[in-house]
Amino acid sequence: MRVVIQYEITLTRHAYPSVNPVAKNGKDRAASFFTGLLLLLLLPERMALAGNDSFKAGCEKLMSPGKVVVAYTDITPAEDGSRTAKALQSVPGKTRDAHHHVYGLTHAQPEFRYKFRARWRTSTDGRTCMVPDVSVKLGFTAMRVYLARELNDSCRKNIVRAHELEHASAWRSHFRIGARMLEEPLRAAFSRPRYYASQNQARADSKPWVEGILKPLHQRLMNGAVAAQRAIDSPAAYQRVAQRLHACPERPVAYREF
């Protein structure tokens, strides 16, 4: 529209080359008319842009960054010595690798819970800015150390228990540290509001926005925890456990790895 009107003004100027005062006045009136028309046509757009800028400026000023709270709840692992070595092999969720100790097992159930509350401001024409407040809770619903019933002397039982408690400690430490490390990226992700054409769009995007940030962080946390568990179950670690078992006063029960 702007190009067409500008072109008409240019044609008007070239269509009346006469310097006759009457003609000149007519040309000036035509130019003034089209110039005024141009301004009237552009005014709503300029007002909309100014309003949009004003709305965003107001959101940036009045909407505080998303509040982030990350909490870790510790757990004391329970001990269970009621199962046989054979029964431990069939425990659901047990890691099946070539070096897993048949006489001890640590079973952890990690918990990663979150909730959020969206805050928004809406303009008179429906435009909306939104930012979420997010709360994350890390911990475990259960953690249990299993010691095979065949471990009937304190020397061997204590060695296997110590190894399994390394697993428990690694789980707890990783989640405790992870809770602190989650805070910075979450605060950065929710530091500024997002803008939408309507409140319905903002409401529909609130959960995908939050989950899109949290899921990769959760996956990274779990990947690190699993890597720490595998490091404890390395061949070198099991060799050290076997050497300690053989150092017990009595002949140790058969130490099998699978």
Q: Locate all alpha helices (DSSP H) within 233-256, ordered by sequence.
A: 235-246
Helix or strand or coil: residue 258?
A: coil
In the chain, pLDDT over 90 holds for what percent of residues?
A: 59
pLDDT of residue 89: 82
Taking residues 46-66, report their average pLDDT: 74
pLDDT interval class at 256 (50, 70, 90) = very low
The pair of three-digit structure tokens given for residue 69, joined into one six-digit string:
């709270």
More confident residue, 13 or 177: 177
pLDDT interval class at 152 (50, 70, 90) = confident
| pLDDT averaged over every residue in the chain | 79
Tens digits of residue pLDDT in 70-95: 999 999 999 999 999 888 887 765 55
pTM score, two decimals? 0.71
- State the residue for tokens 């805050």: 119
pLDDT of residue 62: 87
More confident residue, 181 or 16: 181
The pair of three-digit structure tokens given for residue 94, joined into one six-digit string:
């047990």
At position 110, the amino acid (one-letter code) is P
Residues 22, 26, 31, 34: what is their CA dihedral angle, to the nearest 10 degrees? Answer: 170
pLDDT of residue 118: 96
Tens digits of residue pLDDT in 121-135: 999 999 999 999 999
pLDDT interval class at 250 (50, 70, 90) = low
Contacts of 184 (CB under 8 A, 6+ apart): none
pLDDT of residue 238: 85
Taking residues 96-111, report their average pLDDT: 76
Task: Note every long-range contact of 201-204, with CB atoms under 8 Å and residues 24 or more positions apart, other chains counting.
Answer: 201/128, 202/118, 202/120, 202/128, 202/129, 202/130, 203/118, 203/130
Q: How far is CA 78 from CA 107, 141, 145, in A?
A: 10, 12, 6
pLDDT interval class at 45 (50, 70, 90) = very low
Taking residues 24-39, report their average pLDDT: 46
